[in-house]
Structure 1
Amino acid sequence: MTSSNLGALRWLTYMMFFMFAMTSDAVGVIIPELIRDYQLTMTQASAFHYAPMIWIAASGLLLGFLADKIGHKPTIILGFVLFAGACFGFAIGETFITFVCLLSVIGLAIGLFKTAALALLGDLTPTSQAHTRTMNMVEGFFAVGAIVGPAAVSYMLASGVSWVYLYILAGGLCSVLCLITFAVKFPERPAKQVSQGSGFRQTLLMLKDKHALGFSAAIALYVATEVAIYVWMPTLLKTYEGSWGLLATYALTIFFILRAVGRFMAVWLLNLFSWQSVMLALSSAIFLCYLLTFVFGVDAAVIALPLSGLFMSMIYPTLNSKGISCFDKHQHGSVAGVILFFTALSAALAPLLMGMVSDYFGHIRYGFALAMGFAALLMLAMAYNYWKNPAQLRLANAH
């Protein structure tokens, strides 16, 4: 395969994640509008986030094997077609229920093309270290999309334009990516690898593997701490009345910018230190940000929570890469589906639980106390990973 074709595949993968982030990470800006327009509680409004995440989880677990069975290219195209169709459906949707149903289809589509894209990365990277660096680059583009999406919605709302046009724009971008996918040549996979990695049974076997479950659990804890920021931080900071009002207004944008900067710095940082020590240091810093918010309230949150984006930047792509790299390449689609299942399940349930806790106690700060607990568990998990290094032999032996 030519270097230009490999470059096209890398950019295709980058843009998939950029497009995904545009829609998923904008929900924190959209939810206050939904609460106002449809007279919803925080628990009800959180369906705008957890509905697609549940379908991403189901798609990853039940359909993740398709990337290994029918190939990366057909799976990606199928996901793109579903994603674009659902996005264009926002042009005619009017009710909250309709939007939630369309988001469910989007979640199903993301589960398809994301697992295929993650499996594709294994074919494009020869070593675990190269896979981790590439994964951080991919997540860097995701982080850029997470900046563009909320910023675009904020601009639309300020200009009197409905937020639904974000999804129409995403549908247009997805249509272009689908056409490019048709035109680009994908790496050929030996028939032996296809037969070894095919079937839902392969995914079920992953659920019994301690490394797949261990990395999935760690990623789920990380995701619970991250989604708390982009789903509920705008709601928390609406109660801020201090002198840092401008910072509170742009807190979510600052969070996404710092997360993007950190992900593009990941290659440099991981070349200097072991990934285990980096994960422990960053998870400890995240816990400190939540602890400051818990102790000092919204006056500390206006600084600490956006700053946490810098520390969160490298955790997900690194853990995701190491979890996938524990397995042979013909298993990458299945293990990516399992990890995606736990990722999306956490992304669905954590904000929902935060909304329920906040509704019960009467303030969103109680939801952030729950998120602090997730951050503490993540820090303990990374301490165990640092001292015991349980995946060392598996990472050394996988090919």
Structure 2
Amino acid sequence: MGALQAFYGPSIPALRQEFGLSPSAAGLGLSAHFVGGVAGVLLFDRLYGRLGNRQILATSYLLMALGAAGFALAPNWPLALTAALLAGLGFGGIDYGLNQLFAVGFGRRSTAMLNVLNAHFGIGAILGPALIGAVGAAHYPAVFLAFAVADLPLLLCLRGVRDRAPGRPAAGAEEEAATGPVLSRSLLSVLSVFVALYVLHVGIEAGVGGWEPTHLETVGYGAGAAATATSVYWLMMTVGRFLVAPLALRFPAPALITVSCAGMTVCLLLAAVPALAPYAYAGVGLFIAPIFPTGLPWLNQAAPRARRAGALVIAASMVGGVAAGPALGKAIEWSDIRAVPLLLGGVSALCLAATVWLARATRASEGASPR
């Protein structure tokens, strides 16, 4: 999944030449992928009761393979965008399916295992552009076709996946279950703040990834140094998820995410100092790393009766990634590129406030749950 998402950007020069596209039109490939991803999360969540885990994953693997192959072989840009949308549909189904399975399937180890799962996504995102760079952007169809072929054997790896979580209550009982007097009265508020946390933090993740090179060049760094610093940011995000996995076995999710949001905010403010900016952005990658995978088990524990809560926040995370570019671009038009870290720092402070609120609102259920 990480590799597929990362293939589109490095392929843009070849796409522009092959289909005669403007830069913005060529960037629609990744946008179509994300739109399909949001639709995939919501669609497969709706079908969950009828399909089960194995069928959701199998269908998603097939859709992702078909979409990747279609993107490689498309004779024109509209068909390529349709194929990217199809691949994104499968991508969203897998994103939903695997994250939900890991969130409920490993008990008290779920937070640690989700961080390991998402760290491997990061490995793919790092290696994907390297692969396109090694073979040349002009050969992107071969890379997408190879991905489609490599995706298919995953269908043989589903026999050990349960269709239902063991011991899951019946639908009626699940709807009636409560997590405590506080959450039973304010479940909608809790879910809304979780959604806001995911939209905002993924917006920061995408905002740093998209604007760090421009900001660093504006404050005096060369293009090569800026690109390298951005690669380090993504690398630190992957490293951070591996590092937090053992910590997740000892510390509760609210504490981990609170520290992550606080550290992320401090690093973004430090990034406004030109001499510290590359190192501060690396720190942002390290601190933001655990938030996505650590929040899902916390949500599952805090609101077990809201079955679709996980799908909602996963879809929200993709919306945050899509909206970050234009929203930050408009904010930069009103201010200046030098203000990028301060703007993102303000958003990070909102993430911290949301986390503190959630920690207080869910304290009753967290205290009642064994760690």
TM-score bucket (shorter structure): 0.7 to 0.9
Q: What is the aligned length? A: 359
Aligned to 2:150: 173
Gaps of 5+ in 2: 176-185
Task: Check 1:312–1:88 CA distance in 2 against 1; reply closer, same or farther (3 A cut).
Answer: same
Match of 1:75 in 2: 56
Q: Deviations over 1:204-223 (max 9, x none)?
A: xxx97333222222121111
Partner of 2:348: 375
Q: Which residue does 1:7 correspond to in 2?
A: none
Change (3 A) 1:164 1:239: farther
SS at match of 1:186: coil
Whether the 8 Å CA contact 1:353–1:367 is kept in 2: the answer is no
What residue number does 2:300 align with?
Answer: 324
Shift of 1:296: 3.5
The reply on whether 1:38 has 2:17 as its aligned counterpart is no
1:270 aligns with 2:243: no
Does residue 92 in structure 1 map to residue 73 in structure 2?
yes
Which range is displaced more, 210-219 or 336-345? Answer: 210-219
Question: For residues 268 and 164 of structure 1, do their structure 2 counterparts lie closer, same or farther at Cα, with a shift above 3 Å needed?
Answer: same
2:361 is equivalent to residue 393 of structure 1: no
2:82 to 95, 98, 101: 101
Aligned 1:146-295 pairs, distance under 5 A: 146-157=125-136, 161-181=138-158, 183-184=159-160, 186=162, 193=169, 195-196=171-172, 209-237=188-216, 241-242=220-221, 246-293=224-271, 295=272
Structure-2 change in CA distance of 1:362 and 1:40 (3 Å): farther
Q: 1:112 to 1:274 in 2, by over 3 A?
A: closer
Residue of structure 2 in register with 1:350 after alignment = 324
What is the aligned partner in structure 2 of residue 59 from structure 1? 40
| Higher RCO structure, 1 or 2 (CA under 8 Å, sep 6+) | 1
1:279–1:315: 8 Å Cα contact kept in structure 2?
A: yes
SS at match of 2:235: helix
Gaps of 5+ in 1: 1-19, 200-206
The residue aligned with 1:340 is 314
- Residue 86 of structure 1 and its aligned partner are, at CA, apart by 0.5
- Would you say the 8 A contact 1:50–1:349 is kept in 2? no
CA distance in 1, matches of 2:347, 2:154: 36
CA distance, structure 1, for counterparts of residue 62 and residue 208 of structure 2: 30
Question: How far off its partner does 1:153 sit?
Answer: 2.7
Paired amino acid for 2:135: M
Separation of aligned partners in 1, 2:174 and 2:50: 4
Structure 2 counterpart of 1:342, which letter? Answer: A
Q: 1:380/1:124 Cα in 2 relative to 1: closer, same or farther (>3 Å)?
A: closer
Q: CA deviation at 1:350?
A: 1.3
- Cα deviation for residue 85 of structure 1 reads 0.4
Q: How many Å apart are 1:189 and its aligned residue? A: 5.4
Amino acid at match of 1:186: R
Q: Which amino acid aligns with 1:50?
A: S
SS at match of 1:38: coil
Give the TM-score normalised by the residue count of structure 2: 0.81
Asked if residue 116 in structure 1 is aligned to residue 90 in structure 2, the reply is no
Amino acid at match of 1:340: I
Give the deviation of 1:75 after TM superposition: 1.0
Identity among equivalent positions (%) equals: 20
